[in-house]
Amino acid sequence: MRILLAAFVMLSAGVQAQAPAADAVERGRYLTAAGSCKHCHTAEGGAAFAGGVAFTTDFGVVYSTNITPDPTTGIGGWSFEQFARAMREGVSADGTKLYPVFPYPSFTKVNDDDLRDIFAYLQTVAPAAKAAPANDMGFPYSQRSLMGVWNALYLDNQRYAPDASQSPEWNRGAYLVQGLSHCGSCHTPRNMLGAEKQDLALSGGTYYDEVAPNLIRPWSAVNLTSAKDGLAAWSMEDIYDYLRTGHSATAGTFGPMNAVITENTSKLTDGDVRAMAVYLKSLPPIERAPKHEMNPADFRAGELLYTIHCGTCHLPTGLGDPSIGPALAGSSVVQAEDPASLINSIIYGATVATPAPPGAWDNMEAFGDKLDDDEIALLSTYMRANWGNRGGRVTEADVAKQR
């Protein structure tokens, strides 16, 4: 999926008796950045917020809708109450039930004041007359009425409640991570019906997005808890730097996270980014990745592949050269329960977010044409089993499905 970072149904110009206050509009502009609304509702080459972005899921393809105030194809006739209901209950103005590709199970935590500011800002967006493409969902998933049962089972329609035992900074971070920034939409595993597994919240998930132009494959979102296969090796400052710039002493962004950094977290205030870092660093560990021991022959074969293709930038120790490549020892991408993102980076390379901050690593070249599936599987398994890393064996089949 394209990372699930967006606001889906917002609201209208035209029905208000007077223009919204300028300060509310500016707050709303900031909050839509926090929710990555523009990114998920703006097709390449299309008008801002006019929808048409395809989201691939296990159940079919869902397209983001037009959320400009166009009265016919957008949401020009929506009231605030209708907007709030869509954001919190996943029900459109005409009663149509929305799919949770639009992350209303997260947006339901957003408070009234913030929703009103988002509402105010979206009234000022230039209207665009563009209808959303029809979703491509097979039966029975095409039956939207079934979402009523889904909501009854999985939707907790409650606003964020501050934890009195935690600091205001921690609570602000929790509010953003759990709510508007909807990090769990990608970083939490889902059950067979597409609902987030709350007992494994933020411990890593899988979603679909481009690995190359017009080629959609799975990606793995890393474990954000303080588990060994998650953020255990990250300091709070590492998390802050990564969210702020896409680069830290521990890791650099690539793939779908580039859009999250450039369209979302890099646009937040220092205080909000730091609050998110404080909250994430506090999460108790949820260990997901199993420890795998390679047999000696496979280990030697993997070590040779690593030495030839990876050792210069990432060093034989796996600790990385600070001026060339990040550490692989302790890497949450390398150790993710689902190795999809690791495999993607080897096959297709890794392009850093643009603009890259000072000191960021260079783009990584693609090895998909240089290495066979069995070699990529051995190389990936070697990195997941070495330097104290935890991670299961990667098979040729795992690699083949990413091609």
pLDDT in tens, 31-60: 999 999 999 999 999 999 999 999 999 999
Residue 109 has a pLDDT of 98
The CATH number of 168-282 is 1.10.760
d(CA 101, CA 273): 25
Residue 97 has a pLDDT of 94
Sequence ranges of the domains in the chain: 22-132+145-154, 168-282, 296-400
Q: Six-digit token pair at 85? A: 């209901």
HSE at residue 177, side-chain half, CA atoms within 13 A, is: 25
Which of 148-152, 206-210, 253-257, 357-361 bottoms out in mean pLDDT, i.e. has the lowest? 357-361
Which helix (H) or strand (E) is 221 found in, with range? strand 215-221
Residue 134 has a pLDDT of 94
* pLDDT > 80? residue 12: no
pLDDT in tens, 262-312: 999 999 999 999 999 999 999 999 999 888 889 999 999 999 999 999 999
Which of 4-18, 89-103, 189-203, 320-334 bottoms out in mean pLDDT, i.e. has the lowest? 4-18
Residue 5 has a pLDDT of 34
Residue 395 has a pLDDT of 97
pTM: 0.91
* pLDDT > 50? residue 401: yes
CATH label, 296-400, candidates 3.30.70.20, 1.10.3210.10, 1.10.760.10, 3.40.640.10: 1.10.760.10
Quick check: do 168-282 and 296-400 share a fold? yes
Contacts of 46 (CB under 8 A, 6+ apart): 52, 128, 130
d(CA 116, CA 95): 21
Residue 91 has a pLDDT of 95
* pLDDT > 90? residue 240: yes
Q: What radius of gyration, in Å, describes the C-alpha atoms of the chain?
A: 21
Q: In the chain, pLDDT over 90 holds for what percent of residues?
A: 87
